[in-house]
Amino acid sequence: MPKNKQIHLDNRPVGEAVASNFKLVVSDTPALQDGEVLVRHQFLSLDPYMRGRMNDGKSYAQPQPLGQTMIGGTVGEVIDSRNVKFSAGDKVVGMGGWQEYSVVDGDQVGALRKVDTSHVPLSAYLGAVGMPGVTAWYGLVKIIAPKVGETMVVSAATGAVGSAFAALSKARGCRTVGIAGGPEKCRYAVEELGFDACVDYKLHPDAVSLSKALKEACPAGIDGYFENVGGMVLDAVLSRMNAFGRIAVCGMIAGYNGKPVPLTYPALILMNRLKIEGFIVSEHMEVWPEALKELGTLVATGALRARESVAQGIEAAPEAFLGLLKGKNFGKQLVKLHG
């Protein structure tokens, strides 16, 4: 069995996460038992939710245990199997974590899923045709429930969730506006992802200024908003929401370092009779097949061409993850582990 490099959570962050919170460990891969599968990971997914799990506090997910491999989505290839459902050579998606290999119980429901790479690249199963894509689908379709001609807005617009949101929203006949950081990301949002407009939040020192820019980009107001950021961005969007608008709350990256993120004008929720609903996509497994079918078609037909930022080697994972939290990534953040 191969030697396995892993990244463990060594200690919990105090305030901002830093590289020294993580530790590289080399271990022996255990021998396969009956029913188990050995997977060699090709890509590791890095996602903002991982920051919340590093804390010990109460959250929607159990804290990441100290001294264990960081949790995370992976795609790879089966290289050995003692399970009749899987054969060497199968391409699979799972939650293998921050490591080069994983031993998986092939009979555990949802632990490992075979995927077809003839029309969809393997890495896309961690982004557009994976958890981020289904996240965008659920928030848009099930919470916002858009109608043709309405205006939809998403923050972190060029990330894995935002790029899928754009394709899904445009497919439903909506004006679709992104919020992203920097001119290059905003240009990409409009020219490549199909957004009707994109607002660069970095040009705006406060919510009032950002709100004015949103008024220009959304002349008919905002009917649906997909929230990834919180803070000033949420304040600015709330001031532009139409009556009976819907907000799907997916992330609050502005508050991931532990500082509270207050809301300036919560009265707007009442004045505009807004529906605001938070959700965790893993609690809605029943929609995944429908969502993945649509997302797979969008990728296979070229209607969704999501960009990827790829760090090389497991050793690069901590710095790539810290960069993701600061918006240094462009598109879906991955780590390439094996060719």
Contacts of 148 (CB under 8 A, 6+ apart): 172, 173, 174
So what's the pLDDT on residue 327?
84
8 A C-beta contact, residue 114 and residue 90:
yes
Q: For strand 241-249 and strand 275-278, is the pairing parallel, antiparallel, or unpaired? A: parallel
Dump pLDDT digits (tens) for 224-251. Answer: 999 998 899 999 999 999 999 999 999 8
> Which two tokens mark 329?
């990534």
- Residue 4 CA to chain centroid, in angstroms? 26
DSSP string across 244-259: EEEEEE---GGGTTS-
8 A C-beta contact, residue 193 and residue 161:
no
For 171, the enclosing helix (H) or strand (E) is: helix 160-171
CA distances from 150 to 34, 138, 169 (A): 54, 18, 10
So what's the pLDDT on residue 256?
67
8 A C-beta contact, residue 32 and residue 275:
no
8 A C-beta contact, residue 73 and residue 47:
yes
Hey, what CATH topology would domain 131-282 get? Rossmann fold (3.40.50)
Domain 3-127+307-336 superfamily per CATH: Medium-chain alcohol dehydrogenases, catalytic domain (3.90.180.10)
Dump pLDDT digits (tens) for 200-231. Answer: 999 999 999 999 999 999 999 999 999 998 89
So what's the pLDDT on residue 91?
97
So what's the pLDDT on residue 32?
95
So what's the pLDDT on residue 49?
87
HSE (side-chain half, CA atoms, 13 Å) at 319: 7
8 A C-beta contact, residue 175 and residue 186:
no
CA distances from 142 to 137, 138, 157, 242, 281 (A): 8, 5, 19, 19, 11
d(CA 243, CA 270): 10
3-state helix, strand, coil in the chain (%, to 5): 30, 25, 40
Q: Is 243 helix (H, G, I), strand (E, B) or coil?
A: strand
The interaxial angle of helices 160-171 and 288-300, nearest 10 deg, is 90
Residues of the chain with pLDDT under 50: none
So what's the pLDDT on residue 339?
61
Q: Is 136 exposed, middle or buried (0-12, 13-18, 19+ CB in 10 A)?
A: buried
> Which two tokens mark 119?
């029309």
Per domain, the residue ranges of the chain are 3-127+307-336, 131-282
8 A C-beta contact, residue 106 and residue 36:
yes
8 A C-beta contact, residue 226 and residue 138:
no
8 A C-beta contact, residue 150 and residue 174:
yes
DSSP-assigned beta bridge partners for residue 41: 76
For 191, the enclosing helix (H) or strand (E) is: helix 183-191
Q: Is 198 helix (H, G, I), strand (E, B) or coil?
A: strand
* Degrees to nearest 5, angle at CA 97 with 96 and 99: 95
In the DSSP assignment, the letter for residue 62 is: P
